[in-house]
Chain A
Amino acid sequence: MKQQIIMFQLNGEPLEIYADPAESLLAILREKLGLYGTKAGCGKGECGACTVLVDDQAQNSCLIPAGKVQGRRVETIENLSRGDVVHPIQEAFVEKGAVQCGFCSPGMIMSAYALLKSSPQPAPEDVKTAISGNLCRCSGYKQIEEAVLCAGDKMKNRES
């Protein structure tokens, strides 16, 4: 498809790019913008490794034609840490041993981030649902669930 200008907000900053609107958002992020934190896994919405937030909702960036983010807010894993200070979710993933090979982690953390944005104190069942679109072949999910619950507590404590 012919290239066109697409304007959106990426990690808090307004952005204007000239790109093929039928290319995937994932390809734009990784190949055009050099943001390699978002992982390319299955490429068809089955593994969740490419999860980003679009208007605060978790979505598979591999399935989104770039044209679709026109006027929207996109957040990637790169937006979570602040310099050397990692986000409480990232901290919790390390503490709980929720990272093994690490390939699913960015997507898993973005799904957790979307959940904690809308429900800061989730029940264990909510956590399971929130990460149900993310495959992890190392951990067996238990540590990840614990990490997300722990992250919720950390975020609450930091606010108070």
Chain B
Amino acid sequence: MSYLYPSSLEEALGILRDGSGRARVIAGATDIFLQRLPHSLVDLTALPALSGIKEESGLITIGAAVTHSQAAASPVILAGAQALAEGCARVGSPQIRNAGTLGGNIVNAAPAADAAVALAALGARARIVDIKGLTREEAVEDLYRTHNRSLVDSSSEILVELIIKSCGINEGSAFTRFAARNALALPLVNAAAAVKVENGLVKEARLVVAPVKPAPTRLQRAEEMLIGMPVNRETRLAVEKAAASEVEVRSSLLRCSARYRLHLVGVLVGRALETAAQRAQQRKRGNDS
């Protein structure tokens, strides 16, 4: 066996079935040389089922093999899932964004993957098929087994597509990150927010931050606290405080001290929230196309 190019999803699943764990799927393959190579590589990038971005009755469907560059430039995503466009635009470098895919960003299971953090804030669901022909749908943040290990098994399952509710009236989202450099640097912390604002008050909120746990982490206490609060500086400061008190972080030689990271968690969640809320309010006035 070797490097294989299935032309349909069924064919790819068939190869995995025959490989009995010794074949695994790849997409952008940007991290393949950092890992031990399996017996066979099954390249999914040419599969029609995993490509394309479309919007239908308020739902955006993104093929798992869509690259970060494609997502960051997609008019559909820029209009309906702005946090995702921003997250994708910050992954790695242009070269990596041209190769790396959204599905890979999730299944590679890095704890602070920019696209995955944005997707979690947007409430994205992943559709996964397995070699038995079963299909399941899971929230993106529920796909993490442990650090750098996905619950999606690349030797028996394929993440086919991601589904997001398109941003509606009074809704907005935003992504932000902080890193040692502007490009080619892992984020010390990244954060994304998706909110609905009506008459100046927060109606719905999803706040996600990483790296805190193996998966992008929702700040549920801060989210609950936000409901019904006015969009202003006091609210932002309260959320910054709540966010930092809600998570536990470690010091890391790779990133920074726990204390600094905790500070960043608050600041970045506050920034993402403020931008998302501004966008939500602009959508009400109808000047955000």
Contacts and interface: CB of A to CB of B under 8 A. Distances in A.
B3 A67 contact: yes
Interface stretch (A55-63, A76-84, A86-94, A147-155): A55-63
B210 to A, nearest CB: 21
A65 B184 CA distance: 21
Contact of A22 (B30, B41, B94, B184): B41
A46 interface: yes
Contacts of A1: 2-3, 37, 41
A4 B2 contact: yes
B41 A59 contact: no
A44 interface: yes
Contacts of B34: 44
B94 A2 contact: no
B2 to A, nearest CB: 5
A144 B47 CA distance: 38
Contact of A48 (B2, B29, B93, B99): B93
A53 to B, nearest CB: 10
A68 B95 contact: no
Interface in B26-70: 26, 29-30, 32-34, 37, 41, 43, 45, 69
B178 interface: no
Interface string B1-30: 111010000000000000000000010011
A133 B184 contact: yes
B128 to A, nearest CB: 23
A132 B94 contact: yes
A154 B281 CA distance: 45
A51 interface: yes
Interface string B159-189: 0000000000000000000000011100000
A58 B95 contact: yes
Nearest to B184: A46
Contact of A132 (B41, B69, B182): B182
A106 interface: no
Interface string A81-120: 0000000000000000000000000000001001000000
Contacts of B93: 45, 48, 60, 132-134
Interface string A1-41: 11010000000000000000110100000000000000000
B69 A63 contact: no
A130 interface: yes
B98 interface: yes
B94 A130 contact: yes
A133 B92 contact: yes
15 contacts: A2-B1, A21-B2, A24-B33, A43-B33, A57-B69, A58-B98, A60-B30, A60-B93, A62-B33, A63-B33, A132-B93, A132-B182, A132-B183, A133-B93, A135-B184
Interface of A: 1-2, 4, 21-22, 24, 43-46, 48, 51, 54, 57-60, 62-65, 67-68, 70, 111, 114, 129-130, 132-135
Closest 9 CB pairs of A and B: A133-B93, A67-B3, A21-B3, A132-B183, A57-B98, A133-B95, A60-B95, A63-B30, A133-B94
Given A60-B30, A129-B94, 8 more contacts: A21-B3, A48-B95, A60-B93, A60-B99, A63-B29, A64-B29, A133-B93, A134-B93
